[in-house]
Structure 1
Amino acid sequence: MSVLCVPVHVDALCLATDADVAGPLADFTRLPYVDPVTGRDVRADLPYVGEVVLPAPFEDAGLRLGAGVHLHWALPDALTRVVKGERGTHVPVVPNRWLVTRSRDGAVEGRWLVLSDVLSDDDTGGVAYPVSGDVPAGTAGRPYRFLGRTVPLRRWDPREPLDRLPELTAAGHGDPAFAAFYPNCHSVFGFHDPAYTGTPPAGLSYDVLGWYGDTTQDESARVLATAGDGWRAALADRLGWRAPADAARPARMVCFGRLSFAPARDTVNPLLADAETGVCVGENPTGALAAHLGATLPGVTPESLEDLLEALAYAGDLENATLDLSIGLDEARHTAAFTPITAGVRWNVYARDDTATPDTPPLTPEEKLNRERLTPPPELDGLLAALNEAQERHDQARRTLTGLRRRLYADWYKYMLCAYPSDPGLDSYPSPDEVRFFLERSMDELDRLAARTGVHPAVGEGDTLAHRLAKAREAVDASLAAVNATTARAARTTYVLREVPGPRHYRPNEPVVLLTGSAATPSDRYGEDGAAEPDGLLPCDVIPAAEPVDPEGAVALWTAVARGVAPPHPAVRVWTHAPWHPVLLQWEAEFFPTAAGGNIGSGHRDYDPDFVTANYALTAADVELRPRGGFPGKAANVYSGTTVLSPSARPVLTERVLRYLSGGALAAYNKALMKAGRAPLSAEDFRASPAAVLDWYDANGDDERNKTLAMVYRHLAANQDNNLSQSLGGFNDALLMLRLARQLPVDDPLGFPGDRAFTARVAARIGDENRHAPQPLSDFNPIRAGALRVRRLRIVDNFGTTHDVDVGTLRTTTRLTVKDRPRWVAMAPRLAQPARVALRLLDAAGETAPLTGLPTCTPVCGWLLPAVLEDAVRVHTADGAWAGSIHALPDPRRPDAALWRPAPESDVTDPETDLANPHLRDVAGWLLRSGADGVGAMLSALDEAQASVEPEDPGGLRGVALLLGRPVAVVRAEVALDPLEPPAVHQDWNVFRQDMARAGRETNEFTLVRFPVRIGEHGRLSDGVLGYWVERSPGDLGPDYHDVQALGDADAPSPVLVGLDLPPRRLTVLLDPHGAIHATSGVLPTESAALAAEHYRDALTRLAIGLPAAPVLTDAEQVALPLPAEPGSVWSWLERTPEGWTGVTDPPRPQERFPSGLTVREGRLTLRPRGQGTP
């Protein structure tokens, strides 16, 4: 049999005396339970909740390690990652037998076997492991057992009946850091040898050999089972391992690592000997790193360097943009401060054309014609709208259920604290019976919503939201089947219903802390397998070996493996000093909320609706809300947490810098080489060794940006190993009075039968939504606005040893700096829970229906065409037909109104009643009522606004309309603030008492706070918004037209305000059809919406362009005019006669001879595409 030998990383902590270190991330020995022998409650004073077993950050050391050598081995990276497969995701099972062999100067001194998956009730040397699910319970009746046992190899009896975990994984009982943190797993993936205390002698070594006791769980065998002859490629692709080219196919895998001791004179880790650590805070890792470099590198200002580096970071998002690069960069930086969350789905229909293949004939002329004429059936538009509405309602109901389940868990958590108070003599908690009654009421509400929502896909008959969704889907499928069997089939096309991701919500990023200096050196234990290899694969050996079925077989396997391992080898390491592998970051921060109008310290403790608008301004062209002044209030808002550390963004930024320099510094260098007759340097060679090019550019280059980036690269290359970054994980949840941490299952092991039955009902309704525990003693800050001060930071390594970071020299980016408070970090307004600015175009044919995506569904209600020569606004219907003009003249019949003149052959004599589209009627009526002066002001406003709009025009779709005017689309849009889940509620004990006595929950009315939204972007060439009306009700545009240019020039407050509990604001927008609508709030990423080409292409082509022509001196017999030729279009002459309008298409040019008879005519010239006839 051949085995694949996979290297593992072994480290040792050597102690002269017992030492206290950070304890495990969960101490299950504190759980309450009922002793099955005595029937007595054990730890009856403790509730069965997560805070009982979870240590608080910065707690005193919770684990004592004995003197001697403590070994901790890291599992191969491939066995620590979640694997996605056809049947979902799983965490690989890991080896559960580990042979530890101690040798000195080549002679074996001892052998031990670590049985990693063995459970016991009395072996207290194992780690406490919770009993739940498929974990076998013990005879002691405790809710935990001890996992892991170490025995001398000679005493190992493979036939001994032992309780075992069904599957052992790197995540253990569900903690991602289970295997990475020695206090969690010291008896599972670790070993303690008390024989050598203090500094071990040179020549001492430990070998660690691991294998699967159950070969059916072997991850390599599972991968190779379906690999066939390509087994080496399968190992490389799926596990990141490289087997020798000439090796036989292995039957199973083993893990092997060796640690040899050659102690230095000073065994203190040099990383901690001079552990001065810098701290920088940003909205993301790149921003924090830019703040560090801006304050570190000489000759540059922090602000300019931050701008330069962040421009590099978002260059990929902007490289295809040709317009508005500056504001695009600002938006990219702002959006990077959020994490997107996709919630729900949407449906659309697309046409899938059958393409010609060798087995199918090409399209016939008839099929080509049918395909050109093919359109979806008209009824499909309404059916698809109904499907999307049903889907949205079902998705929203499911998100509401999720929020209510999380709220129920927080309430049940408080119920447990009331039922098992820390001090029974205190009367500070509500009555458990009252809380239970409240929970029953909450469960009834949740049950009613669950019953209305239903389960998708729906089964049987019913009227739940799931059933309505299924029926809407069936109606669309039936419509598509009918068209696909008839007209679409004749065009060899199939209409397909497609599910696409729904709109994204955004969660604000938690502040990111960048740690620099030697103590912040990332560990090479985790995520570094194969990093030193050119192909990035971990080199493995394949060796012949026997099955380790008994002690002799284990020794034989070790002998075979150890024989082929000699340094240099990735499995062999030399111990010279104490290790330092940072794993966890503990943090403590103080939040200073903006005081004026807030909910902290005010008498009624409710937010003022103007909290944001009074304290912050959304200035023109800015994507962030800026403080108007004032100072954050001093409030007792101290939060803390523990999070897993990760390497920072430095290597990514290094590559971006080199890529940019290859287009600047390298180009100049190669130009000099070619001028000297030498071959240029390739970009690959430059990135591999850039020093010579950068030195040359420092001496000869002329672009200061390239020189600055060269300096940045040198600094990053020299210090890339001395930095770690991590967000303050859980900070947003802490602002909502919640703690994000692993929680216990919903249970009440000490309760009476009725209590346990009640808890079972609660558990059934909560499901898996038990990740957030309430923090009733914190403050409620659902709007994250103010400033932050980091009070404490502590790094914890894999053995639980700690290093406290000095935060006295903390830095932040220039954009996050608080005046006169150099150690504070400004926090612009954010909603602490996920939300989105919902901007959507509305169907012109309805009132509130959104677009379906079909060509027949358009947001264009009509068109306005400024006719400056006539001093009028021409009104066109959605298809481009000219209805008439509103002139800047008083109507003789209504002097306070503007004059309406119908277009030739138009039957629209009164636009307020005769125009078919009601929204176009509203616009025309508003213009008429604004009077002659109002129309004149509108013409001026449109002219000035259009001068700042120059969007891209893909395909040249503007048509002939631009020859004599720029058409303006009349569209409707809707903007709202949409939360992902129900609003967060206050968790304070006194508030909870009040909530139990009323129908609603306390939110401090943060849902009524109004956030400004800037519609349009004056000066942004790609933004097409010229102005808009904020509708007061259907048919009522309100008194004010909001000119985007005027709003921007005056830096006026936005007339559009949204809130979580405020209804959507509907707008009627005047839009350049080629530009987009941008909605900027500052509190969330900017959203945009634009017309699809099919919404305006045909209308612009049909749009007849006319201008008055008077007086015209021409032949008395016929009209002859000198007109320019326009390809694809034809001129027409129109004039009014007593009989009505008459016209001549394509009037002749004047003759060279002077006509015998002349006359003066008055009329209009119209240019329209050929084939449309005359008006």
Structure 2
Amino acid sequence: MGRQILTPSAGHALAGQIETYASGRTDLPDDLIRTLEEDARTEDFLSQTLDGFGAMLRQREARPWRRPPQEVEDLTGPTDALPPVPGIPPKYPGQPWQDSVFHELRAGQLAFTRLSVVDRFGRAVNLIEDELHFEPVLPDSLIPDHPTDPLAPARLIELGPRFLQPARLRFDFLAATHDEDVTLTPGANPVCAWLLNNRLDRTLVCFDPHGTALGELREVLDPSGDRIVAWAPLPGSRITELDQLQPVSPHAHAFLDAIRRRGPAVLHAVRATLDDALTTIDPDGPQDPSLGFLLGRPLALVRTRLDLELCGPARTTVAWSQVADPPPPALSDYPWFVRLGDPHRTDDGLIAMITNDDYDRLDTVVDPVGEHDGFLHPIPTDGEPPFTVSFAGDPVHTTLLVDPRVPVHATTDVLPTGTVHIPQEFTVRALARMAVAFRAGPLLADEAHGTALIPTPATAAGTWTWAEPTTDGWRTLPLASPEPTATPFTHPDLRSGYLLLGDAVTAPAARTDHTPGEHA
């Protein structure tokens, strides 16, 4: 039982939300926005929150009360907090106190039994004549799926789980090599590696956290004639074998090795699935169509940690009969689902994830493409997410493959959505120094004044160079296209190597003005 003052604040709040939404859109007519705002302000909306309900559930007195004497307040502390309700006092002498009921969560179904409206002059009207037939108009989220009263289910209102003490979802970056909190570890970088789908060569390219090319996974023929996936080092890389990557970036090694062991079908399924996921973030692709044919977007492989934290210890009952020896709280062990990413949002950058270092399973935000031998699993958008967290102090560690241009969202439905966005200090320089390698050769090409005379591909962005292996490493030459009318090569060489495209991958722009319906 309680009293609430109804106000027309809902219309003004709705008008403010319309104005905020329209401020980021340039395609909406000003007259339409002004009309919607004025209609919202003048609409006959009355609303108010249900104050004191949560306090009652956690055994606190929300009604006005007298301040205790100074000597009592000195013992109990400041009285700005709501006082406890340890029980219901007896009505008659000799009767025992009745314990008040404690709830660790606000979750259940309620129904109105009495509801009256009182105007400013004190005149009242009772809105409920028969409580079994009072059926409020509810949104879908408040309609019970399993009514507790089968006789009159339409009168019930379902309230989802909510915590009765301050809590938060921790969603933090971890250092790539030792899983320490990035914000507490000087020099730590959450990026384990950068991965890029080379569409032209049909390979999965790996760069180190600073943007230096390490190698790629490609389909090759083994000596027996079978098709396998092998690691191929790229120009300038010292990682000649995939196992050499393990001490440098253990999580990047585990991810790539899981793909390599499963063969060409899984490699191409992963590449195709990554491309499909990118269309949910950047539907129109790159500004240069020629680059869109050659390569995908660089994706960051990062380490994160998710956990739930309470402000202080979990609360327990203050009932008279249990206050000295309260039962242990059950809230700490409750599992709560966490959903990472959202394929329906163009402002969410999650592509795929690995949970708790289980590199035999890759969860993707879109349905897998191709034959993947059970390696790929779509993250359900309606069903149960692949993992849970709790307040027991057992965090979940994840390895995420993300688009660095936009943040990743973690949704619990019981707490505000958590987000992580890779700081630009870890992305700008790495993306600027990336050079994508395309295998070429053997081809006839001459060299003049330290420049390789090879026809260069026509792209609107980037600088092309030539790299070829030598006995002591790699040799890099600038490229120049031979003149069509020039004298043919007198002594051309048969060359095999890589065409290197630099300055084509730029740093992600900050997206602070994103609105629904726009692409990244």
Q: TM-score scaled by structure 2?
A: 0.74
Report the Cα distance in structure 1 between the residues aligned to 2:236 and 2:29, rounded to whole angstroms.
65
CA positional deviation for 1:862:
2.0
Classify the secondary structure of the residue corresponding to 1:727.
Answer: coil
Identify the residue that residue 338 of structure 2 maps to in structure 1.
1013
Classify the secondary structure of the residue corresponding to 1:840.
Answer: strand
Query: What pairs up with 1:555-570 in 2 under 5 angstroms?
Result: none
CA contact (8 A) 1:971 1:1069 kept: yes
CA positional deviation for 1:1136:
3.1
Report the Cα distance in structure 1 between the residues aligned to 2:354 and 2:128, rounded to whole angstroms.
51
Report the Cα distance in structure 2 between the residues aligned to 1:930 and 1:1108, rounded to whole angstroms.
23
Identify the residue that residue 456 of structure 2 maps to in structure 1.
1123
CA positional deviation for 1:1069:
0.7
Classify the secondary structure of the residue corresponding to 1:772.
Answer: coil
Report the Cα distance in structure 1 between the residues aligned to 2:292 and 2:22, rounded to whole angstroms.
31
Alpha-carbon displacement from aligned partner over 1:156-187 (angstroms, at most 9, x marks no partner): xxxxxxxxxxxxxxxxxxxxx9xx9xxxxxxx
Report the Cα distance in structure 2 between the residues aligned to 1:785 and 1:989, rounded to whole angstroms.
24
Identify the residue that residue 936 of structure 1 maps to in structure 2.
268
CA contact (8 A) 1:836 1:978 kept: yes
1:1146 aligns with 2:479: yes
CA contact (8 A) 1:1123 1:1149 kept: no
Residue of structure 1 aligned with 2:396, choices 1065, 1076, 1085: 1065
Report the Cα distance in structure 1 between the residues aligned to 2:386 and 2:25, rounded to whole angstroms.
31
Q: Which amino acid aligns with 1:814?
A: P
1:827–1:1051: structure 2 CA closer, same or farther, 3 Å change rule?
Answer: closer
CA contact (8 A) 1:811 1:823 kept: yes
1:735–1:942: structure 2 CA closer, same or farther, 3 Å change rule?
Answer: same
1:1131–1:851: structure 2 CA closer, same or farther, 3 Å change rule?
Answer: same
Identify the residue that residue 788 of structure 1 maps to in structure 2.
110
Identify the residue that residue 825 of structure 1 maps to in structure 2.
157
CA positional deviation for 1:923:
3.3
CA positional deviation for 1:1103:
0.3
Identify the residue that residue 198 of structure 2 maps to in structure 1.
867
1:1166 aligns with 2:500: yes
1:774 aligns with 2:85: yes
Larger CA Rg, structure 1 vs 2:
1
Report the Cα distance in structure 1 between the residues aligned to 2:165 and 2:468, rounded to whole angstroms.
64
Alpha-carbon displacement from aligned partner over 1:280-302 (angstroms, at most 9, x marks no partner): 9xxx963xx7xxxxxxxxxxxxx
Q: Which amino acid aligns with 2:166?
A: P
Query: What pairs up with 1:387-426 in 2 under 5 angstroms?
Result: none
Report the Cα distance in structure 1 between the residues aligned to 2:250 and 2:301, rounded to whole angstroms.
12
Identify the residue that residue 361 of structure 2 maps to in structure 1.
1040
Residue of structure 1 aligned with 2:234, choices 903, 914, 939: 903
Query: What pairs up with 1:1070-1085 in 2 under 5 angstroms?
Result: 1070-1085=401-416
1:793–1:1019: structure 2 CA closer, same or farther, 3 Å change rule?
Answer: closer
Query: What pairs up with 1:361-372 in 2 under 5 angstroms?
Result: none
Residue of structure 2 aligned with 1:1028, choices 345, 353, 357: 353
Q: Which amino acid aligns with 2:399?
A: T
Report the Cα distance in structure 2 between the residues aligned to 1:1055 and 1:852, rounded to whole angstroms.
29
CA positional deviation for 1:770:
4.8
CA positional deviation for 1:1026:
0.5
1:310–1:761: structure 2 CA closer, same or farther, 3 Å change rule?
Answer: closer
Q: Which amino acid aligns with 2:443?
A: V
Report the Cα distance in structure 1 between the residues aligned to 2:341 and 2:258, rounded to whole angstroms.
21
1:805–1:1063: structure 2 CA closer, same or farther, 3 Å change rule?
Answer: farther
Residue of structure 2 aligned with 1:881, choices 198, 204, 212: 212
CA positional deviation for 1:1054:
0.9
1:814 aligns with 2:139: yes
What count of residue pairs does the alignment treat as equivalent? 465
Report the Cα distance in structure 2 between the residues aligned to 1:1124 and 1:871, rounded to whole angstroms.
18
1:821–1:964: structure 2 CA closer, same or farther, 3 Å change rule?
Answer: same
Q: Which amino acid aligns with 2:474?
A: W
Report the Cα distance in structure 2 between the residues aligned to 1:661 and 1:877, rounded to whole angstroms.
47
Classify the secondary structure of the residue corresponding to 1:664.
Answer: helix
CA contact (8 A) 2:199 2:293 kept: no
Classify the secondary structure of the residue corresponding to 1:1099.
Answer: helix
Q: Which amino acid aligns with 1:1145?
A: P
Report the Cα distance in structure 2 between the residues aligned to 1:858 and 1:322, rounded to whole angstroms.
35
1:778–1:319: structure 2 CA closer, same or farther, 3 Å change rule?
Answer: farther
Query: What pairs up with 1:441-480 in 2 under 5 angstroms?
Result: none
CA contact (8 A) 2:60 2:82 kept: no
Identify the residue that residue 738 of structure 1 maps to in structure 2.
60
CA contact (8 A) 1:896 1:929 kept: no
CA contact (8 A) 2:363 2:379 kept: no
Identify the residue that residue 1055 of structure 1 maps to in structure 2.
386
Query: What pairs up with 1:719-734 in 2 under 5 angstroms?
Result: 724-734=46-56
CA positional deviation for 1:877:
0.8
Identify the residue that residue 629 of structure 1 maps to in structure 2.
none
Alpha-carbon displacement from aligned partner over 1:894-949 (angstroms, at most 9, x marks no partner): x9984222222321134444453444344344444444444333222212211222
Q: Which amino acid aligns with 1:806?
A: L
| Consecutive unaligned residues in structure 2, runs of 5 or more | 88-98, 146-151, 368-377, 505-520
CA positional deviation for 1:1139:
5.4
Alpha-carbon displacement from aligned partner over 1:1086-1133 (angstroms, at most 9, x marks no partner): 222212333211111100111112343445988432214668843111
Q: Which has the higher helix share?
A: 1
1:320–1:725: structure 2 CA closer, same or farther, 3 Å change rule?
Answer: closer
Residue of structure 2 aligned with 1:803, choices 124, 141, 151: 124
Report the Cα distance in structure 1 between the residues aligned to 2:386 and 2:227, rounded to whole angstroms.
27
Identify the residue that residue 17 of structure 2 maps to in structure 1.
314
Report the Cα distance in structure 2 between the residues aligned to 1:1055 and 1:1011, rounded to whole angstroms.
11
Residue of structure 2 aligned with 1:1002, choices 328, 348, 360: 328
CA positional deviation for 1:1077:
0.4
Report the Cα distance in structure 1 between the residues aligned to 2:202 and 2:196, rounded to whole angstroms.
11
CA contact (8 A) 2:191 2:301 kept: yes
CA contact (8 A) 2:452 2:479 kept: no
CA contact (8 A) 1:1116 1:1157 kept: no
Classify the secondary structure of the residue corresponding to 1:1146.
Answer: strand
CA positional deviation for 1:872:
2.3
Report the Cα distance in structure 1 between the residues aligned to 2:499 and 2:322, rounded to whole angstroms.
74
Report the Cα distance in structure 2 between the residues aligned to 1:842 and 1:318, rounded to whole angstroms.
34
Residue of structure 2 aligned with 1:969, choices 280, 289, 300: 300
1:774–1:1157: structure 2 CA closer, same or farther, 3 Å change rule?
Answer: same
Classify the secondary structure of the residue corresponding to 2:269.
Answer: helix
CA contact (8 A) 1:880 1:1100 kept: yes
1:1045–1:322: structure 2 CA closer, same or farther, 3 Å change rule?
Answer: farther
CA positional deviation for 1:1053:
2.2
CA contact (8 A) 1:732 1:833 kept: no
CA contact (8 A) 1:830 1:1083 kept: yes
CA contact (8 A) 1:1058 1:1064 kept: yes
Identify the residue that residue 432 of structure 1 maps to in structure 2.
none
Query: What pairs up with 1:694-773 in 2 under 5 angstroms?
Result: 717=42, 724-744=46-66, 762-763=75-76, 766-768=77-79, 770-773=81-84
Classify the secondary structure of the residue corresponding to 1:738.
Answer: coil
Report the Cα distance in structure 1 between the residues aligned to 2:257 and 2:68, rounded to whole angstroms.
62
Report the Cα distance in structure 2 between the residues aligned to 1:832 and 1:951, rounded to whole angstroms.
42
Identify the residue that residue 847 of structure 1 maps to in structure 2.
179
Classify the secondary structure of the residue corresponding to 2:482.
Answer: coil
Report the Cα distance in structure 2 between the residues aligned to 1:774 and 1:1156, rounded to whole angstroms.
99
1:663 aligns with 2:366: no
CA contact (8 A) 2:199 2:294 kept: no
Report the Cα distance in structure 1 between the residues aligned to 2:383 and 2:309, rounded to whole angstroms.
25
RMSD: 4.4
CA contact (8 A) 2:200 2:293 kept: no
Alpha-carbon displacement from aligned partner over 1:861-908 (angstroms, at most 9, x marks no partner): 221112233332211111100111122458779x99842222223211
1:833–1:966: structure 2 CA closer, same or farther, 3 Å change rule?
Answer: same
